[in-house]
A = this chain, B = another copy of it.
Amino acid sequence: MTGVSQATVSLVLNGRDDGNVRIAPETRARVLHAIRTTGYVADPVARRLAARHNRILGVFTYEPVFPTGTGDFYHPFLVGIEECAERLGCDLLLLTSAPVAGGRRRIFHDDNRLRLADGCVLLGRSLDHDELTRLVTEGQPFVSVGRRDDAGGPVPYVGADYPTATAAVVRRALAAGHTALAYLGQGSGPESHADRMRGFRAALDEAGRTPRHLPTTDRSPAELLDALLAAGVTAAVVEEYADGVAIAQLARERGLDIPGDLSILALGDPTRPASTDIDFTGFRIPRREMGWQSVEVLTGLLEADPETVPQRLVPCQPVDGATLAPPKVTP
Contact A113-B56, Cβ < 8 Å, known A48-B45, A93-B93: yes
A97 touches B49 (CB 8 A): no
Copies in the complex: 2
Contact with A86, one of B49, B93, B96, B113 (Cβ below 8 angstroms)? B96
A99 touches B91 (CB 8 A): no
Cβ of A8 under 8 Å from chain B: no
Cβ of A106 under 8 Å from chain B: no
A95 touches B91 (CB 8 A): yes
Candidate in A68, A90, A116 with the most chain B CB atoms within 10 angstroms: A116
- As a 0/1 sequence over residues 93 to 133 of chain A, the CB contacts with chain B under 8 angstroms (1 = contact) are 11111010000000010111111100000000000000000
Shortest beta-carbon contacts, A-B, top 8: A92-B94, A66-B79, A44-B113, A44-B116, A89-B97, A86-B96, A45-B48, A91-B97
Q: How far is the CA of A65 from the CA of B44 in the complex (A)?
A: 22
**19 A/B residue pairs, CB under 8 Å, sorted by A:** A41-B115, A42-B111, A44-B111, A44-B112, A44-B116, A45-B45, A45-B48, A45-B116, A55-B97, A56-B113, A56-B116, A66-B75, A66-B82, A82-B94, A89-B99, A91-B97, A91-B113, A92-B94, A93-B94
B-chain residues with CB within 8 Å of residue A65 when the two chains form the complex: 82, 92
